[in-house]
Amino acid sequence: MLRSALLYTALVFGANTAFAAGPDWQAARAGGLAKLVVAEEPVPVSTTEFTDPQGGTHSLADWQGKVVALNFWATWCAPCREEMPALDRLQAELGGDDFQVVTIATGRNAPDRIDAFFKEVGVTNLPVLLDPRQQLARDMGVVGLPVTVLIDREGREVARYLGDAEWDSDAAKTLVMQLKADNAAEN
């Protein structure tokens, strides 16, 4: 019994040390996020405003203090159709006070088309946000869809993923947990 308790304690401290060391980008790539591009230095994100279907104005500063998976997508994008349910499941499982999946439909995407898209693919946990003139997407260097940008609590881009990914995979969830732990350790 004592041996089990010591082993469990060692595993817990080892796991906490691993999380405190920062994200394991290589493990994330090996675990299925092969196209993950990590910023050499965190880069402040754009301050360009975008809207919601009711005409409200937002900026990425609205999520300052949270780790964010910012996803640029469009209703006409076939890979987006594949990816969006995984982002929805990631938000349902890990979203809250310290992490948020933020999805922004960039380009011409009518709100009724977005609603139909979300209904068709079973999305219920993600926000409907709009970048109709692609100003935010351009400012953030988005040249194809989908693109997911990982943002730290300080509002800085730390990595991005080009193309669709299984954001509800163990590798992705571990990466999000590491980003949350890394950012919490810095504060």
Residue 77 token pair: 């994008």
Question: Within the chain, what is the greatest distance between any pair of CA atoms?
Answer: 63
| Distance from C-alpha of 164 to C-alpha of 50, rounded to nearest angstrom | 23
Which numeric CATH code is attached to 2-186?
A: 3.40.30.10
Q: Is the pLDDT of residue 8 over 80?
A: no
| Distance from C-alpha of 130 to C-alpha of 51, rounded to nearest angstrom | 5
| 14 vs 101, more confident | 101
Cross-strand bridge partners of residue 105:
73, 130
Which SS3 state, helix, strand or coil, does residue 113 take? helix
| Distance from C-alpha of 80 to C-alpha of 131, rounded to nearest angstrom | 16
DSSP 98: S
Q: Which residues in 7-152 belong to E strands, given as ranges?
A: 36-44, 50-51, 57-58, 67-73, 99-106, 129-131, 147-151
pLDDT, tens digit, 9 for 90 and up, residues 101-149: 999 999 999 999 999 999 999 999 999 999 999 999 999 999 999 999 9
pLDDT for res 150: 98
pLDDT, tens digit, 9 for 90 and up, residues 50-75: 999 999 999 999 999 999 999 999 99
pLDDT, tens digit, 9 for 90 and up, residues 88-99: 999 999 999 999
Which SS3 state, helix, strand or coil, does residue 27 take? helix
Q: Is the pLDDT of residue 11 over 90?
A: no
Q: Are 122 and 88 in contact (CB under 8 A)?
A: yes
| Distance from C-alpha of 159 to C-alpha of 25, rounded to nearest angstrom | 9
Q: Are 60 and 47 in contact (CB under 8 A)?
A: yes
